[in-house]
Structure 1
């Protein structure tokens, strides 16, 4: 069984952003020559997440609004008491972003069948930035034969 690893970078915008990374994954899969197996996508950050869902503009706006109701930016969070923690000078006030990420997932596994991602008709792999803007790195591991 072959195992191939890639890193992809995503430059995100301010606030919550949702990015369709399916084309980047498909590109890496096509160059891998793997016919059957799986692809693992993993976010290497504590204020980001991954999801498989529909990439529809109005739905993505609904997701952003819903996440903000689950962890409002202006709520009182102990993590935001920066004066009580040993932090770098550029440390953001971002407890809400950590909480959102913990309610979501940091990874997704997708079957590969006959060289293609086995996604449903409306499914896309979505990367969720919860504390942008930043440059984020995602690990993609393609396994199979």
Structure 2
């Protein structure tokens, strides 16, 4: 069974933003000979996340509000006491809230591939969550099957 490793790059904006990466994943699958199998999609950062859900503008705004309520940036977090931390870069952000939001979501998704296509439901999309942008992010995709 072949295993193919690929990457998707995502340029993100300030704060929480949600990107539909389904088209990029479909393009990767199409570039292989895999017709039936699965794709593992893995977020390689501690302040990003993945989820399968509907990519609808008003829902995306609801999700942002929900996440901000779970871990408000205005709260006091020990991780943000940068002067107590060792070996941090000079441009280290105060982003404990972003780490906490990421913990409430997933860092990976496994999606079946059937007849060369993602077996997602009608309203399902693979969503990439930036929780601490702006940054250049990398999503790892491992496609396997026959």
- TM-score range relative to shorter protein: over 0.9
Q: Write out the 4+ residue segments of structure 1 that deviate beyond 4 Å after TM superposition.
A: none
The Cα offsets for residues 102-138 of structure 1, whole Å up to 9 and x where unpaired, read as 1111000000111110000000000000000000000
- For residue 37 of structure 1, report the CA deviation from its aligned partner: 0.3
Let me know the Cα RMSD of the aligned residues.
0.5
SS at match of 1:32: coil
Match of 1:49 in 2: 49
SS at match of 1:28: helix
Match of 1:99 in 2: 100
- For residue 33 of structure 1, report the CA deviation from its aligned partner: 1.4
TM-score normalised per structure 1 = 0.99
Q: Distance in 2 between matches of 1:137 and 1:117?
A: 20
Match of 1:8 in 2: 8
Q: Distance in 1 between matches of 2:99 and 2:12?
A: 17
SS at match of 2:90: coil
Q: Distance in 1 between matches of 2:35 and 2:108?
A: 22
Q: Distance in 1 between matches of 2:23 and 2:112?
A: 16
1:122 aligns with 2:134: no
Aligned 1:13-92 pairs, distance under 5 A: 13-86=13-86, 87-92=88-93
Q: Which runs of 5+ in 2 are unaligned?
A: none
Match of 1:144 in 2: 145
The alignment of Structure 1 onto Structure 2 pairs a total of residues equal to 145
Match of 1:112 in 2: 113
